[in-house]
Structure 1
Amino acid sequence: MKTMKTMKRAVRIAYCNYSLFHHFFIFFIFFIPPTLLSSQELLWKAGVHAFFDNTEFANASVQSSQTMAGVHLSPEIGLGWQEKHRIYVGFDAMHEYGSPQTVDYVDPILYYEFSGHPFTFYMGAFPRQLVLDKYPRMFFQDSIRNYRPIINGLFWEYQRKENSLNIWLDWTGRQSRERHEAFFMGWSGRYNWSLFYAQHFGYMFHFASLKDPVVSEAVHDNGLVWTSLGIDLAPQTAFKKLEANMGWSVGLDRNRDENVWHTPQGFLSEVKIEYRGLGLFNTYYKGKSQQTFYNTYGNSLYWGDPVYRSKEYNRSDFYIQFLKTKSVELKFTYTLHCTERQIFHEQAFYAVIDLNNLKTKRPDKKDKYLWDNWF
């Protein structure tokens, strides 16, 4: 009964959010002064992201079997001026396959963007895929992309050629009697020289108690960093991807009532190979069990893949990239998870369409596929 009430309340909130931003959307279109529109550039974006992800983890202690399937619709309209400044308003509406609801989740989109080489800056509620898609699954599991598509905060990046440095903030929970106060502070960067590169990813997650809790709860700090060195041979070959890296990860977990830092560490490596649409992405971890307080707080405290609670884990993604352009991506992946002396399976298919009227000097790169002459 409590679960049903919670679901009904979530649907009512989603409907209210949708209604509010629907009216704001109409206001934005029809009531902006014509003189303002004539001096600026009217922008638009439209995205449809469909996903199907089935995991089979029977008898595993570190992960559970589940099927995630649904489709996102994310329209945006905006104004641009001086070629560097833009503001956007829109929403991300998600329908889960099999759900009786037309819309299961709605997230508002409203942000400012500055894009002036070598700097990029976002502030507001903006799509996650714009800024954090390179983070390893140890930091953010796949379900975050599917069910938490919007960042509420800011992102700043310096990028010159292939070298980059960024910092970001994502406020994920406003404190209430039903919701914990929570936010991320993160940073990452990459430096290239010739065929070699160094990269670093990190964040700190602050997880506080509910407002006026019946039972006192401790504040938790959950941090994670990974630094690696790699080599990228793809530019010297016919491969689209041909690289490998290896490095060291350190978790930082603290219950402030105990005031003791737990620092699980381990070796983490990646191998990426892709040739004409066929690819392999392999990840290997060996070290201490991550996510110290997972049994108490679960995914509320940890957004990374819980399979890294294993002391040894290998993930092999075999994929077919049917098509990838600036506006369309079709991809199927079959994954083998090797941990706890067992092999587990996963199948995923993604169809992503992103359209916009943004002017760009970068041409749409034409990839070659093994099946180009089959039809």
Structure 2
Amino acid sequence: MKKAFLLLFCLVSLAAWSQKPEFSLLFEGIGDNREFSSKRNISQTILGARGAFELGTNIDQHRFRFGISHLFEFGSTIDGQKPLLILYYHLEKPNTSFHFGSFPRRGLINFPLAMLSDTLMYYRPNIEGLMGEIRWDIGFQNAWVDWTGRQAIGVREAFTAATSGTIRWERFRIQNYILLNHLAHSANRTPYEHVNDNLGYSILFGYHFSETENLELHFQAGILGSVFRERSVTDGFINSESLLAEAFFRYRSFAFRNVLHTGEGHTFLSGDPFYRLDNYNRTDIVWYFIRHHNVIGRFNLSFHLIDGKHLDQSQQISIVYQIPAIP
């Protein structure tokens, strides 16, 4: 406890000393109930709350931030999840940005669930590595590396590298996603460990009919592809491609989203397991019960149609309170 107070004192002293002190606070309430009869995904209930704070300084567009992020899962002890260190440098210019360190992924990246599952925001909310982004009048492109495992006894070396971007022309959109996952051996390699190489990509073409405060309507469709190899296990690389299409409609506080994946099943090391199926359709009915510039409250009822035969469901409720305001 004394160490915690000493750390807090150092952070406050740093903020007071800095030329332009800054801080941010985050609270996230999490309720996620997944009732799956299918063996292709894991049935589980996740209830908890995450708190995070950052302190730092800003000198001529150069930011330094330090803080802590912690998830408390209801029904467990306070040390059930380890606190995560937030420690990073951030450069922000009109057309470019750069992060280096351990920094929150919220608001920075947005990949299809097939490639990066939504549970990453619960258990891996930080990117530990670096990220850069270039912006121009008709779009942006970013790239990042997340080092998720340093080789040690019982720990396999692992990292994720990715890039994504959007090009806009009037109401048309072109989005691109490329994701590389690499999982190597631990320091005490066992016979059951094999190096995994996984590459994913997607190109989506979309049209936005409306983007106002009270009405959003867009449609996009394209290709989702993956390449997977488990060395000494698979016979070379396994290549898969499928159609990925999404329709989204929101009127004021209510929204509807439908995502269709059909073709060949994919292997993404950090993706939603449902996309390993050849055919999968997800329908979300969303109610934004709080819409404030600092607070977003959302209830999500999801239906999962598996291979056109079996219907599963899940429900999510979340409250995000953030200072400064949610972008």
Indicate whether the TM-score tops 0.5: yes
Q: Identify the match of residue 303 of structure 1 among 270, 276, 279.
A: 270
Is the Cα contact below 8 Å between 1:25 and 1:89 reproduced in 2?
no
Kindly indicate whether the alpha-carbon contact (under 8 Å) linking 2:15 and 2:57 is maintained by their aligned counterparts in 1: no
Picking from 181, 195, 206, the partner of 1:205 is 181
The match for 1:355 is 323
Partner of 2:23: 44
Q: Are positions 1:332 and 2:299 aligned together?
A: yes
Change (3 A) 1:194 1:89: same
Aligned counterparts of 2:100 and 2:15: Cα–Cα separation in 1: 24
Q: What CA distance in whole angstroms lies between the structure 2 residues aligned with 1:144 and 1:167? A: 18
Distance 1:335 1:349 in 2: 11
Q: Determine if the alignment matches structure 1 residue 57 to structure 2 residue 32.
A: no
Structure 1 partner of 2:263 = 287
Instruction: Look up the SS of the partner of 1:146 in the other structure.
Output: helix
Q: Return the letter of the residue paired with 1:249.
A: L
Instruction: Report the more deviating stretch, 214-223 or 89-98.
Output: 214-223
Question: In the alignment, is the contact (CA less than 8 A) between 1:49 and 1:71 conserved in 2?
Answer: yes
Per the TM alignment, residue 287 of structure 1 is displaced from its structure 2 partner at its CA by: 1.1
Query: Residue type matched to 1:29 in 2?
Result: V
Structure 1 partner of 2:228: 253
Matched-pair contact (CA < 8 Å) for 1:315–1:336: yes
Q: State the partner residue of 1:129.
A: 106
- Compute the displacement of 1:220 (Å): 1.3
Q: Which residue of 2 aligns with 1:107?
A: 84
- Distance in 1, matches of 2:167 and 2:122, equals 30
For residue 53 of structure 1, give the secondary structure of its aligned residue in structure 2. strand
The normalised TM-score by structure 1 is 0.82
Instruction: After superposing the two structures, state which structure 1 stretch, 213-222 or 148-157, moved more.
Output: 213-222
- From the superposition, tell whether residues 98 and 317 of structure 1 become closer, same or farther in structure 2 (CA, over 3 Å): same
CA distance 1:91–1:311, shift in 2 (3 Å): same
CA distance in 2, matches of 1:231, 1:33: 45
C-alpha deviation, 1:160, in angstroms: 2.3
Q: Tell me how far apart the structure 2 counterparts of residues 90 and 328 of structure 1 sit (CA, whole Å).
A: 21
Aligned partner of 1:66 in structure 2 is 44
Partner residue, 1:312: 279
What is the count of residue pairs matched by the alignment?
325
In the alignment, the residues of structure 2 paired with residue 21 and residue 306 of structure 1 have an alpha-carbon distance, to the nearest angstrom, of 39
SS, match of residue 345 in structure 1:
strand
Aligned match of 2:115: 139
CA distance, structure 2, for counterparts of residue 129 and residue 19 of structure 1: 31
CA spacing shift, 1:346–1:162, aligned 2, 3 Å = farther
Matched residues in 1 for 2:2 and 2:135: separation?
A: 39
Q: Report if aligned partners of 2:138, 2:169 keep a CA contact under 8 Å in 1.
A: no
Shift of 1:213: 1.4
Give yes or no for contact 2:154–2:188 (8 Å, CA) kept in 1: no
TM-score, scaled to structure 2: 0.93
Deviation of 1:290 (Å) = 1.1
Aligned to 1:26: 9
Structure 2: which 5+ residue stretches go unaligned? none
Give the secondary-structure state (helix, strand or coil) at the position aligned to 1:208: strand
Q: Please tell me the root mean square deviation across aligned C-alpha atoms, in Å.
A: 2.2
Q: 8 Å contact 2:200–2:227 — kept in the other structure?
A: yes
Aligned counterpart, 2:152: 176
Structure 1: how far apart are the matches of 2:2 and 2:206? 48
**Who is 2:59 aligned against?**
81
Flag the 1:272–1:218 CA change in 2: closer, same or farther, 3 A. same
Q: 1:251 to 1:328 in 2, by over 3 A?
A: same
By how many angstroms is 1:26 displaced? Answer: 2.5
1:167 positional shift = 0.5
Kept in 1, the 8 Å contact 2:15–2:21? The answer is no
Q: Secondary structure at the match of 1:252?
A: strand
Tell me the amino acid that sits aligned with residue 101 of structure 1: I
